[in-house]
A and B are shown apart, each in its own frame.
Chain A
């Protein structure tokens, strides 16, 4: 019996200790990912340096990086994960260094300018589409009655404009979409505020009950200043009155003050 109990106690203590350790131990990386990423970087660097004249230093660094990728491959074949990780990090460090050395000079100016504008505008649009999707979910869930047809139409036009390289028109569209999104959010916030008061009141009532219980507990503890207890009870009573009068904002301010006071009393 004693042995069983001791064993159970030990098992529980061990489980308590291990439950506090971050979950990182659970996650094991797929080691082949490391080879995929490193190989892609190696291939990219190789393409870059084969298209331009590079210094001996860059060439030497590339050879070092490639050697690290080979070692990474060998380590994975030998199931030596720890070594594979080191080779991966070393290879990526070298490839980053080479990139910084060779990619400073842009290639064709006009091509980069056009692609930068396209990237920037399409990113703007992507972000807005994502934001709109979130707002739609909220609106649909609460039957807000918002009409999304105009913004959907504008997004569709903007996509076509980006595809056609009509960037001036796209910029105008994006300004319009931004405005519509802002209007939709304002409407949703206004609708949410209508029901916020009821939720806030409900929450405040529960929270005040909890604080009242805590004050009762603290009251009987030794070394507590009675004047502080009186102050807490006064605030509690006032907050309850404000809440019943429908003055939720003021009640919340007092609720926050009271929480701080109770926290101080308990410490």
Chain B
């Protein structure tokens, strides 16, 4: 049983009264009935906004974090006569879901896929808070936020983000703690942005100003020192690699086997299990590009899968030669 049930009741109720459609035929010749029609129309007019207000999203606020996850806050008006209400969520990968009724009363929820059933028990307003990992994807350095919004919404962009593409027209924009907050109307939208590191955003903000020659010289010297440092570090790592091989061998022994991982994480998806099996058979680590080739998955899909496994503490992502190296983590513990 859900919210949709009550709507036909309301429509039927109006039809049963029959004031609109039965009596209007007799109105023009007999003006005596005009006040009755007027009263009926006033009631109907007043009722329309009320009907619209049932199970409608009153507020939708989204906050994008720097790792691409999104916090969703939604305030929904519902029919107080229904015992439960099904809320459609933005995606399947949901964390930290809390549904609260009037007076901040914690409501019981049961999430299945991309929807959650909330036991409302007479609440006329509920608020839902959750984090989703399915609204933002990443390709290269470009992050893309995509949404099909059921209502008007606000969107707080991450810090140091620079918008480089947008498919819908924003209604408002304001700056909150150095973060851009945008307002949009309901409907589809896609926003492309990049994240600048704190240093790069500072550079970009000062590019219009002429640079002092001494600053360029100092900057150049620092950059050269950093590059030389990196070269030395890499050479040192290469020479010390041989010594470390025995240590890495012991580390690989500590990596749990897939069966143990599946027992500790019983709710894993089948495709994620295949990824784990592949990494395990590959010596406990694999490049993300190798995973893409193996499973013929696009970059964003594999990125999401890898992030999902990272969130569950199964793998860790390490940068290696500008690529993502995915490693099985040791010491996996049972989920709380």
Contact of B141 among A106, A113, A175, A182 (CB under 8 A): A106
B106 pairs with A206, CB closer than 8 A: no
- Bound-state CA distance A218–B31 (Å) is 35
15 contacts between A and B (CB under 8 A): A13-B41, A19-B45, A29-B169, A43-B207, A44-B204, A92-B163, A105-B140, A110-B319, A116-B319, A122-B66, A124-B67, A175-B313, A192-B106, A252-B83, A259-B1
The residue of chain A having its C-beta at the shortest distance from the C-beta of B71 within the complex is A130
A23-B152, A100-B140, A134-B129 are contacts. A40–B162 as well, Cβ < 8 Å?
Answer: yes
| Contacts A175-B313, A263-B8 supplied; 10 other A-B pairs, CB < 8 Å | A5-B31, A47-B203, A89-B167, A92-B164, A104-B140, A109-B321, A124-B67, A196-B121, A266-B9, A266-B12
Instruction: Give the complex CA separation of A29 and B122 in angstroms.
Output: 37
B108 touches A134 (CB 8 A): no
Determine the interface band of chain A, counting residues with CB < 8 A from chain B: 35 or more
Dominant SS among interface residues on chain A = helix
Interface residues of A in 1-33 (CB under 8 A from B): 1-2, 5, 8-9, 12-13, 15-16, 19-20, 22-24, 27-30, 33
Q: Is A152 an interface residue (CB 8 A)?
A: no
CB distance B131 to A127 under 8 Å?
A: yes
Q: Is the CB of B67 within 8 A of A123?
A: yes
Q: How far is the CB of B62 from chain A (nearest CB, A)?
A: 12
Q: How far is the CB of B225 from chain A (nearest CB, A)?
A: 14
B37 within 8 A of A: yes
* Complex CA distance for A267 and B69, rounded to whole angstroms: 44
B40 to A: closest C-beta gap in Å = 10
- 7 closest cross-chain pairs (CB), A and B: A96-B165, A113-B319, A123-B65, A123-B67, A119-B66, A192-B106, A141-B104
Contact of B204 among A43, A104, A263, A267 (CB under 8 A): A43
A263 and B5 contact, Cβ closer than 8 Å, known pairs A23-B152, A99-B142: yes
Q: Is A210 an interface residue (CB 8 A)?
A: yes
> Smallest distance from the beta carbon of B300 to chain A beta carbons, Å?
13
CA of A181 to CA of B45 in the docked complex: distance in angstroms? 48
Closest residue of A by beta carbon distance from B120: A203
Q: State whether A192 touches B37 (Cβ < 8 A).
A: no
Q: Is the interface of B mostly helix, strand, loop or mixed?
A: mixed
Interface residues of B in 67-118 (CB under 8 A from A): 67, 69, 71, 81, 83, 95-96, 98, 100, 103-108
CB B189 to nearest CB in A, in angstroms, measures 12
Is the CB–CB distance between B170 and A2 below 8 Å? no
Q: State in angstroms the CA–CA spacing of A9 and B42 once bound together.
A: 10
B172 in contact (CB, < 8 A): yes
* A196 with B48: CB separation less than 8 A: no
Evaluate whether A12 and B65 lie within 8 angstroms (CB atoms) in the complex, with A34-B170, A134-B129, A138-B100 already known: no
Q: Does A63 contact B (CB under 8 A)?
A: no
Contact A138 B336 (CB under 8 A): no
- CB pair B166–A92 under 8 Å, yes or no, is yes
- State whether A19 and B195 are in contact (beta carbons under 8 Å apart), knowing that A5-B34, A33-B173, A89-B169 are contacts in the complex: no
Contact A37 B166 (CB under 8 A): yes
Min CB distance B42 to A, Å, is: 7
**What B residues does A20 contact at CB under 8 A?**
48, 52
Question: Using Cβ atoms and an 8 Å threshold, which residues of chain A touch B169?
Answer: 29, 34, 85, 88-89
Q: How far is the CA of A16 from the CA of B100 in the complex (A)?
A: 34
- A204–B83 Cα gap in the complex (Å)? 8
Of B41, B52, B141, B172, most A-chain CB atoms within 10 Å: B141
The residue that A19 contacts in the complex, of B34, B49, B141, B204, with Cβ under 8 A, is B49
Q: Chain A contacts of B63 at CB under 8 A?
A: 130
A137 to B73, CA, bound (A): 15
Q: Which residues of B contact A207 (CB under 8 A)?
A: 81, 83
Instruction: Render A35-54 as a binary contact track against B, CB cut-off 8 A, 1 for contact.
Output: 01100110111110010000
Asked if A36 and B173 make an inter-chain contact with CB atoms under 8 angstroms apart, the answer reads: yes
Contact (Cβ within 8 A) B195 A16: no
Whether A127 contacts B166 by the Cβ 8 Å rule is: no
CA distance A137 to B129 in the complex (A): 13
Could you tell me the distance between the alpha carbons of A252 and B117 in the complex, rounded to whole angstroms?
A: 15
Q: Which of A160-178 contact B (CB under 8 A)?
A: 175, 178
Do residues B163 and A41 form an inter-chain contact, with CB atoms below 8 A? yes
